[in-house]
């Protein structure tokens, strides 16, 4: 049911772990639903120089966390802010329909971390405010 | 592709079992040589008819019933549906109330829901922390308009065996028909309809070394049950359609073997199960056993591992060569973890981390240690990834 890429990232997760003194940390999901994702970011000069994750969840939750961290390392924070769950799912050669919420969770975890960073550094403006507004709640209906 | 392990240790015998060689051997001639339609009058038709009736006799003998009380179906699910909806239809004049439990198989639960949509009232009895239905609760739930009580013999997920005899006696004393789903219990516990106060009982072939696609419903003589399918005169006009002759032959042989071997097999499996339970509970922290400690199916062990999720556990165990199952949401196809685990009072997050190991004929005590070693690695790896485990270590773990 999973693509080879999903299985690869599940079996050999990239960037699993914690960043000490991370510049931003985002946690989404809840144990009740069976998935929690926490993303740690190291940001220098507006660029994500390192990203790590810790995830409690199913195979695709772990794989999307791993893929999301791969996709954002080396990118500017403005680029990272544009990360979509669809892009994460596509990079994994697709996810089963009932697992798309895992990719949404990855997107939201990244955005939750960035929100903390943008807030701390006074970077929230009228252009990006709406992006953060979407990260408030994680739900399972996302496509 | 990830390399597949050389050898798979199959630990999901509650899901299905391999067809036994003796069973396959019995079935094969009915695909090729004796391919006749049991309803045909010539020789090969009569041979097929005779084979179906022999299988019925074998099952009847295995459960202590008369052959005419055994009806073949296409699955255990079909038997459950027929028992509930059929009895409901036949006894509607008496009332429209049913009693069942919160931990039934979906074949029973969803049949009840279908009946609720038609105006029936259903009482879903709770279970205790070990998954047991309290017979006193059954007694309290029965009403003058109760038509049927359906309580499973043994649970498919947590293995708890219900006090069927006691519940059946209560129902009988109150004039309420009693159905039990014995799909998991068959071959694992002794079933004798001569002494059990059971009116209807569901069985499935593929859980006991028989083929998929065959089930049976025991219907005690005198119980009214309308026909399930209309058409020819098969199954005494109750279930029309040409019989699955090879499947039925296989079922008969499988049940005959399972009944003959039941006591010995149960003792052997219980020893493997208990060794696995002791090893896992003793060697891995933050684990609990789900289901009753002793009143449980001989081959069933069900664990919850805190801080991790069941599907990842299954996938990693698969990579280590172990096939098991889980009650996590991600494996149930819904967002909620198993209704059985929630009914025994597990919080969602603990239920998500469940693992069912079901031992069968092909397993031995030699499977326990490799399973344990794989679990140690897999659980440690997933906990290392888990933010819940981090939080635990930072708070409770320091106490």
- Predicted confidence (pLDDT) per residue in B10-63, tens digit: 999 999 999 999 999 999 999 999 999 999 999 999 999 999 999 999 999 999
What confidence tens digit (pLDDT) does each residue in B273-315 have? 999 999 999 999 999 999 999 999 999 999 999 999 999 999 9
Residues 42-101 of A with CB under 8 A from B: 54-59, 61-62, 98-99
Confidence at residue B398, expressed as pLDDT on a 0 to 100 scale:
64
What is the helix (H) or strand (E) element at residue B140, kind and residue range?
helix B135-141
The full 3-state SS of B271-325, as one line of letters, equals: HHHHHHHHHHHHHCCCEEECCCCCCECCCEEEEEECCCCHHHHHHHHHHCCEECE
Confidence at residue B292, expressed as pLDDT on a 0 to 100 scale:
98
Is B330 in CB contact (< 8 Å) with chain A?
Answer: yes
A130 compared with A93, residue with greater pLDDT:
A93
Give the sign of the dihedral formed by CA B71, CA B74, CA B75, CA B79.
negative
CA–CA dist B98, B376 (Å, integer): 45
A13 compared with B326, residue with greater pLDDT:
A13
- Judge whether B110 and B137 are in contact, CB under 8 Å: no
Nearest alpha-carbon partner for B164 in B187, B192, B140 = B192
Between vectors from CA B198 to CA B192 and to CA B204, what angle results, nearest 5°? 70
Question: Where residue A138 falls among pLDDT bands split at 50, 70, 90?
Answer: very low
B302 compared with A128, residue with greater pLDDT:
B302
Substitution target in A9, A27, A33, A57 with the highest count of B β-carbons within 10 Å is: A57
Percent of chain A with pLDDT over 70: 93
Residues 258-317 of B with CB under 8 A from A: 307-312, 315-316
In angstroms, the Cα distances linking B10 to A94, B110, B356, B357 are: 29, 29, 12, 9
B352: nearest CB among A18, A34, A38: A34
Q: Does the structure show a pLDDT above 70 at A47? A: yes
CA–CA dist A33, A22 (Å, integer): 27
CA–CA dist A127, B80 (Å, integer): 59
Residues of A recognised as catalytic: 33, 102
Confidence at residue A128, expressed as pLDDT on a 0 to 100 scale:
84
Which are the contacts of A52, defined by CB distance < 8 A and separation ≥ 6?
Answer: A15, A16, A17, A18, A19, A22, A39, A40, A69
Interchain pair A59, B311: CB under 8 A: yes
Q: Looking at residues A103-118, what average pLDDT do you find? A: 93
Interchain pair A32, B308: CB under 8 A: no
Question: Where residue A137 falls among pLDDT bands split at 50, 70, 90?
Answer: low
ipTM attached to this prediction: 0.91
User: Which two structure tokens, joined as six digits, stand for B98?
Assistant: 């049913």
CA–CA dist A92, B196 (Å, integer): 55
Q: What is the mean pLDDT of chain A?
A: 90
Q: What is the pLDDT along chain B (399 residues), one digit of tens a residue?
A: 566 777 899 999 999 999 999 999 999 999 999 999 999 999 999 999 999 999 999 999 999 999 999 999 999 999 999 999 999 999 999 999 999 999 999 999 999 999 999 999 999 999 999 999 999 999 999 999 999 999 999 999 999 999 999 999 999 999 999 999 999 999 999 999 999 999 999 999 999 999 999 999 999 999 999 999 999 999 999 999 999 999 999 999 999 999 999 999 999 999 999 999 999 999 999 999 999 999 999 999 999 999 999 999 999 999 999 999 987 766 655 667 899 999 999 999 899 999 999 999 999 999 999 999 999 999 999 999 999 999 999 988 665
- Judge whether B225 and B238 are in contact, CB under 8 Å: yes
Substitution target in B306, B307, B315 with the highest count of A β-carbons within 10 Å is: B315
Query: What pTM, to 2 d.p., does this model score?
Result: 0.94
Confidence at residue B346, expressed as pLDDT on a 0 to 100 scale:
95
State the smallest CA–CA distance between residue B312 and chain A in angstroms. Answer: 5
A54: nearest CB among B316, B337, B385: B385
């Amino acid at each position: 049911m999973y693509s080879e890429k999903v299985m690869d990232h599940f079996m050999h997760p990239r960037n699993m772990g914690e960043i000490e003194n991370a510049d931003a940390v985002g946690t989404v999901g809840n144990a009740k639903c069976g998935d929690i994702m926490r993303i740690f970011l190291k940001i220098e000069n507006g660029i994500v120089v390192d990203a790590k994750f810790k995830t409690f969840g199913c195979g695709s939750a772990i794989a999307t966390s791993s893929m999301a961290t791969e996709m954002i390392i080396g990118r500017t924070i403005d680029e990272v802010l544009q990360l979509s769950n669809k892009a994460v799912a596509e990079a994994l050669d697709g996810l089963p329909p009932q697992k798309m919420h895992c990719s949404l969770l990855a997107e939201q975890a990244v955005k939750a971390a960035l929100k903390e960073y943008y807030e701390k550094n006074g970077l929230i403006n009228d252009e990006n405010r709406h992006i953060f507004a979407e990260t408030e709640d994680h739900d399972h209906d996302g496509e | 592709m990830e390399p597949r392990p050389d050898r798979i240790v199959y630990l999901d015998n509650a899901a299905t079992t391999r067809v036994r060689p003796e069973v396959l051997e019995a079935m094969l001639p009915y695909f090729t040589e004796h391919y006749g339609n049991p309803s045909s009058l010539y020789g090969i038709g009569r041979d097929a008819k005779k084979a179906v009736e022999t299988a019925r006799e074998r099952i009847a003998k295995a459960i202590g019933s008369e052959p005419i009380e055994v009806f073949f179906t296409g699955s255990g699910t079909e038997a459950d549906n027929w028992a509930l909806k059929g009895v409901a239809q036949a006894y509607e004049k008496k009332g429209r109330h049913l009693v069942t439990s919160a931990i039934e198989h979906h074949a029973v639960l969803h049949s009840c829901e279908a009946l609720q949509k038609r105006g029936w009232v259903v009482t879903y009895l709770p279970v205790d922390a070990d998954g047991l239905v309290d017979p006193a609760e059954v007694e309290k739930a029965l009403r003058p308009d109760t038509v049927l009580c359906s309580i499973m013999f043994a649970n498919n997920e947590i293995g708890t065996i219900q006090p069927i005899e006691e519940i059946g006696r209560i129902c009988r004393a109150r004039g309420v028909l009693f159905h039990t789903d014995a799909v998991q219990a068959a071959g694992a516990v002794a079933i004798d309809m001569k002494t059990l106060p059971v009116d209807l009982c569901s069985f499935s072939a593929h859980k006991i070394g028989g083929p998929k696609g065959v089930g049976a419903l025991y219907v005690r003589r005198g119980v009214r049950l309308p026909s399930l399918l209309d058409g020819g005169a098969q199954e005494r006009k109750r279930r029309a359609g040409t019989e699955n002759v090879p499947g039925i032959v296989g079922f008969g042989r499988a049940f005959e073997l399972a009944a003959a071997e039941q006591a010995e097999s149960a003792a052997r499996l219980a020893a493997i199960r208990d060794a696995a339970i002791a090893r896992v509970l003793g060697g891995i922290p933050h684990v609990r056993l789900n289901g009753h400690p002793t009143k449980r199916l001989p081959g069933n062990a069900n664990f919850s591992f805190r801080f991790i999720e069941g599907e990842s556990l299954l996938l990693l165990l698969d990579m280590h060569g172990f096939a098991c199952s889980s009650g996590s949401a991600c494996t149930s196809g819904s967002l909620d973890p198993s209704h059985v685990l929630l009914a025994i009072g597990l919080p969602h997050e603990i239920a998500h981390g469940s693992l069912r190991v079901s031992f069968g004929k092909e397993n031995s005590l030699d499977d326990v240690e490799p399973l344990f070693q794989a679990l140690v690695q897999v659980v440690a790896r997933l906990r290392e990834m888990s933010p819940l485990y981090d939080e635990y270590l930072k708070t409770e773990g320091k106490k």
